[in-house]
Amino acid sequence: MLGLLSGYIGGKLDSILSLVMDAVYSFPGLILAIVLAAMLGPGIVNTAVAIAVIYTPTYFRIVRGLVLSLKESLFVEAARATGAKDRTIVFKYIFPNVLSSVPIILSLNAADAVLTLAALSFLGLGLPAPTPDWGFDLKAGHAYLASRIWWPSTFPGLLIVLLTLGFSLFGEGISEILNPELRR
Amino acid sequence: MAVLEVVDLKKYFPVQKSFLERIFTRKLEYVQAVDKISFKVGKGEIFTLAGESGCGKTTTGRLVTRLVEPTEGKVFFNGKEITSWQGEKLRKLRKNVQIIFQNPYASLNPRMKIGDAVGHPLEIHEIATGEEKRGVVLEILEQVGLEPAEKFYDAHPYELSGGQRQRAAIARAMVLNPEFVVADEPISMIDVSLRAKILELMLKLKEERDLTFLFITHDLAVAKYISDWIAIMYLGEIVEMGKQEEIFSNSQHPYTKALLSAVPVPEPRTRREHVKLEGEVPSSINPPSGCRFHPRCSFASEKCRTSEPPLSLADKDHQIACHLC
Amino acid sequence: MKNLLEVKNLKVYYYTREGVVKAVDQASFSIKKGETVGLVGESGSGKSTLGLSILKLVPSPGRIVGGELFFDGKDLAKLDNKQMRKLRGRWISMVFQDPMASLNPLMRVGDHLTETIKTHEKVTHKDAEKRALLLLDEVGISLERFKDYPHQFSGGMRQRVGIALAIALNPNLVIADEFTSSLDVIVQSQILSLMNNLKRSHNMGMILISHDISLVSEIADKVALMYAGQIVEFAEVNAFFEEHLHPYSERLLNSVPNIQLSDQNLSYIPGMPPDLIHPLKGCRFYPRCSYATNTCREKEPPLVEIETGYMVKCFRYD
């Protein structure tokens, strides 16, 4: 949302928001997540918030970039030529086209988010104990590695990889549905 | 009274400089895309702006439809000055002034069904919605030859060929019943054997709806075929202008003569010597002094180097900007 | 005079997800040394694919699946990539529509020419440079631009550099694929005139691929008209424009505006462009032809030789 507005209106709002986003973006995501999670304390909601905050800048930049390029495209100019109001242009012309590019990013990020969550849990900062979580499992399994009991460590890891792959394919699938022309 | 009148129209684009360049060079540079042009288009005429790339014809088309703001000069529509119209007034003007773009693969929103895209202007201007809108759109789709209209109504752009997309774009331009249409290279991206079909459609619509056209093209053979009046542009200026028959049979400006002779003709037996013109069109950031054509003109005199020739009457229905004619 | 290049029943297919696109489906024509053949067709006719296949540069998923390509007696279809590389640039070269495509943006233009010469011939760097300078002069570029980068040249000048690269090693055959399509008409006229002179002074054969039949009429000796992957008419240029025997030729010429005529009656060809994945079993122009008969729908027309050197693929002349 922010990306849409920022990209379209441009000007001062754009410059300020971009700066803020860039600042957040430049922090290594994981470290920021750790800091935030530590600050907020354990719990599902807090963890979710921490992860959401780190990923906002990514979405923002990508959406903004898309909006900027779409703003210059010919069919937008054509819409303006028929007298469309700015609001209409943003919602009917730019937004749907941005939406079609989002699933891929979503899937990449979802996979990444899962990994971050796993990492957090591995470090003990994520979800509290009884909640099933692969990161937690990995950590728990970690202790057994020394005794050559490898399966508690490997399987959660493997599953995380598979889940990541799943998300990517899912994203591509959605993308293909929304972008029928990609099928050709 | 002319439908469209343009007086001393100018458009300068600032040159984008990189950050470092901005620090080290204080001087601002401009692309002098359109530099003081004036012309009139009468009702029911097809007025063509012709020239090579960079001559300013496309920018003029955008200026006239106010998609781009003029740097200087005035634009009049049916006698009223529209140069600085904004907001609601400008949006209402759009009902009367429409534009057809060159690239049919980019001028339609890929996410919108054809029916929605063509009908959208009706919604924007609150002329028709729902079933009524659908009715109007279906009728227009038939008129431009996209039949069966229902099938094309529900289709998306990627399902259509280039020629079909262009016809959809024309339908969209017609749906508000405009008086004046700018056609910017409407057939240059269409296959050769289908171009005449689009031209024929445009001429048919012109007759039926009493339209006035500003036709923009780099293809002089097409210009000859379709125009009533023609203005030849070079580096942002009009160098020769007049009735089509006059200009093509009796061109006087050295540039026009070179341009017309360079156009290939589908008749090998008439292979003639092209008027030799050296070099290429110079940059419009630092155009030549005086007459902009003088560096390439074999007749250039001292006066040509120092002063810009005004557009003046050479014959009936024939104006030319040249010191030596 | 023996044929420099002979294309016989060439078939080039693209194996795509949607099906097999039969881009070139039994095309035949020939060219002699010093001749210019204009290969004309609209989009999808197969002309670019045909041009690329002569140099065996058809991009995947395309492949040459049949026919013969005789260059100076050798069947190119049978040569492997290593052997083709020796031919490319040296014996057969290509000029593209977009000159930037063949120019390395990070390499100075003069160096690019020099390297090209050195790659194919055993000459010293100094000699190669001397030749590069001569080439620039020959194509009308001032010598001080030897050290410039491609982006510093205008469109027309870049195309001249592309031409210099193509003739650097004195090839016998140059294939020009829409090489003036991105140029304005006056520069186009300059470039064509340059090519004509070079063709004569180097005694090269040239295949000019274009969608613009008027352009071809200006400099070609022979015309090969393509439709749906096949060459439907092949004749000497004057004869072609006078006779235009194939119904497609006739229709096409009627749809082209002629700047020397007033009150022209332009027409267009009704119907849809041909489907290359499911080509018709009979004549591919059948749905759009005003002379069509039942035979045309059922059987593929033969390539008939009306008189020496004039071929038409149509039942009307069988």
Flag whether B54 is in a domain.
Answer: yes
Write the residue in B194, B199, B265 that is nearest to C260 by C-beta. B265
Chain C residues whose CB is inside 8 A of the B192 CB are 42, 211-213, 252, 255-256
Mean pLDDT to the nearest integer, C218-245: 94
Site from C157, C186, C222, C264 to mutate, B interface, most B CB atoms within 10 angstroms: C186
Buried b (16+ CB within 10 A) or exposed e, B33-65: bbbbbbbebeeebbbbbbbbebbbbbbbbbbbb
A80-94, B20-34, B290-304: which is most confident:
B290-304
With a cut of 50, say whether residue C126 has pLDDT above it. Answer: yes
Cβ burial, residue C256 (10 Å; 0-12/13-18/19+): buried
Give the residue from chain B lying closest to A91, CA to CA. B111
Number of domains in chain A: 1
Q: DSSP letter at B283?
A: P
- Are B67 and A81 a contacting pair at CB < 8 A? yes
The model's confidence at residue A44, banded by pLDDT at 50, 70 and 90, is low
**Mean pLDDT score, A33-53:** 60
d(CA C197, CA B325): 34
A175: contact with B, CB 8 A cutoff: no
Span A145-160, mean pLDDT? 60
CATH code of the domain containing B66: 3.40.50.300
Q: How much is the ipTM here?
A: 0.86
Q: Could you tell me the two tokens for C225?
A: 């008209």
Give the pLDDT mean for B76-95: 90
Q: Which of B16-25, C23-32, C218-227 has the lowest mean pLDDT?
A: B16-25
Cβ neighbours, 10 Å, residue A66: 21
Q: What percent of chain A has pLDDT over 70?
A: 16
CATH architecture of structural domain C3-91+171-258+266-317: 3-Layer(aba) Sandwich (3.40)
CA distance C313 to B76: 57
Nearest to B193 among C241, C251, C260 (CB): C251
- State which H helix or E strand residue C224 sits in: strand C222-227
Contact B120 A82 (CB under 8 A): yes
Task: Give all chains having 3 or more CB-to-CB distances under 8 Å with chain B.
Answer: A, C
Query: pLDDT band at C48, cuts 50/70/90?
Result: very high
Tokens of B53: 């790339």
Q: State the pLDDT at residue A12.
A: 43
Name the minimum distance, in Å, from the CA of B106 to any CA of chain A. 6
Task: Scan for tokens 């693969």, then name that residue.
Answer: B105
Percent of chain A with pLDDT strictly greater than 90 = 0
Least confident of A21-30, C143-152, C174-183, C214-223: A21-30
Looking at per-residue pLDDT, the higher value among A66 and C283 belongs to C283
Whole-number pLDDT of residue A35:
58
- Whether B45 shows a pLDDT value over 90: the answer reads yes
Q: Supply angle C-alpha C33, C35, C39, rounded to 5.
A: 120
Q: What is the DSSP letter of C88?
A: B
For residue A149, pLDDT beyond 70: no
Say whether B194 and C268 touch across the interface (CB within 8 A). yes
> Does the beta carbon of B2 lie under 8 angstroms from any beta carbon of chain A?
no
Domain ranges across chain C: 3-91+171-258+266-317
Residue bearing the bigger pLDDT, C113 or A47: C113
Q: Please indicate, yes or no, if residue B66 is contained in any of the structural domains.
A: yes
Q: What per-residue confidence (pLDDT) applies to A144?
A: 57
Dist CA C260 CA B119 (whole Å): 41
Per the domain annotation, does B135 fall within a domain?
A: no
Residues 135-194 of B with CB under 8 A from A: 156, 158, 169, 172, 176
Q: Does B313 touch chain A (CB under 8 A)?
A: no
Q: For residue C212, give the nearest of C204, C220, C200 by alpha carbon.
A: C220
Is the Cβ–Cβ distance between C68 and C24 less than 8 Å? Answer: no
Min mean pLDDT across A2-11, B77-86, B207-216, C70-79 is at A2-11
Q: Find out whether A52 and A45 touch, Cβ atoms under 8 Å.
A: no
Please name the residue of chain B whose CA is at the shortest distance from the CA of residue A179: B111
**What is the band of B300 on the pLDDT scale with cuts at 50, 70, 90?**
confident
Q: How confident is the model at residue C52 (pLDDT cuts 50, 70, 90)?
A: very high
**pLDDT-derived band at B285, boundaries 50, 70, 90:** confident
For residue B132, CA distances in Å to B139, B144, B256 come to 11, 19, 50
What is the mean predicted confidence (pLDDT) over B295-323? 90
Weakest mean pLDDT among B22-31, B143-152, B261-270, C303-312 = B22-31
Average pLDDT of chain C, as a whole number: 90
Number of domains in chain B: 1
In angstroms, the Cα distances linking A33 to A37, C31, C314 are 6, 70, 74
Q: Chain C partners of B104 at a C-beta cutoff of 8 Å?
A: none
The answer as to whether B189 is a domain residue is yes
Bridge partners, C69 (sequence order): C7
**What chain A residue is nearest to B99 in terms of C-alpha separation?**
A81
A93/B110 Cβ within 8 A: no
Least confident residue range of B179-188, C81-90, C304-313: C81-90
Q: Which domain holds residue B195?
A: 4-96+178-320
First to last CA, chain A: 30
Please report the sign of the dihedral spanned by the C-alpha atoms of residue C138, residue C140, residue C145, residue C151.
negative
* Phi and psi torsions of C100, nearest 5°: -65, -25
Average pLDDT across chain B, whole number: 90
Closest-CA residue in chain C for B268?
C217
B104 interfacial to chain A (CB closer than 8 Å): no
- Note the pLDDT of residue B11: 94
Q: How many CA atoms lie within 13 A of B61 on its CB side?
A: 28
- pLDDT tens, residue by residue, C55-77: 988 888 898 999 999 998 888 88
pLDDT of C106:
86
pLDDT at A10: 45
User: What letter would DSSP give residue C287?
Assistant: G
Residue A146's CATH number: 1.10.3720.10
> If you average pLDDT over every residue of chain A, what do you get?
62
Q: What is residue B96's predicted lDDT score, i.e. its pLDDT?
A: 92
Residues of B in contact with A93 (CB under 8 A): 109, 111-112
Does residue A36 register a pLDDT over 60?
A: no
Q: Name the nearest CA neighbour of C238 among C251, C220, C265.
A: C220
pLDDT tens digits for C252-276? Answer: 999 999 998 888 889 999 888 888 9
Beta strand B229-234 pairing with B46-50 = parallel
Q: Do B125 and A83 touch (CB under 8 A)?
A: yes
Q: Say whether pLDDT at C6 is over 60.
A: yes
Contact B68, B59 (CB under 8 A): yes
For residue C186, give the nearest of B52, B161, B224 by CB distance: B52
Judge contact between B213 and B45, C-beta under 8 A: yes
C202 CB-near residues (< 8 Å, 6+ apart)? C167, C170
On whether residue B221 sits in a domain, the answer given is yes
DSSP B110-140: TTS-HHHHHHHHHHHTTS--HHHHHHHHHHH
pLDDT band at A66 (very low <50, low <70, confident <90, very high): confident
Please determine, for residue A25, whether its predicted confidence score (pLDDT) is greater than 60.
no
Average pLDDT over residues C82-102: 85
pLDDT above 60 (res A182): no
Q: Residue A111 corresponds to which amino acid?
A: A
Residue A148, pLDDT score: 56
The answer, yes or no, to whether residue B21 has pLDDT greater than 80, is no
Residue B324 clears pLDDT 50, i.e. is over it: yes
The pLDDT assigned to A11 comes to 43
Question: Ranked by mean pLDDT, which of A22-26, B224-228, C88-92, C294-298 comes out on top?
Answer: B224-228
Q: Is B36 on the interface with A (CB under 8 A)?
A: no
Residue B271 lies in a domain: yes
Nearest by CB to residue B110, choosing from A78, A85, A181, is A181
C22 — phi, psi (to 5°)?
-90, 80
| Neighbours, chain C (3 or more CB pairs < 8 A) | B
Subunit contact A83:B95, Cβ cutoff 8 A: yes
Question: C113: which residues sit within 8 A by CB, 6+ positions away?
Answer: C131, C132, C135, C136, C161, C164, C165, C168
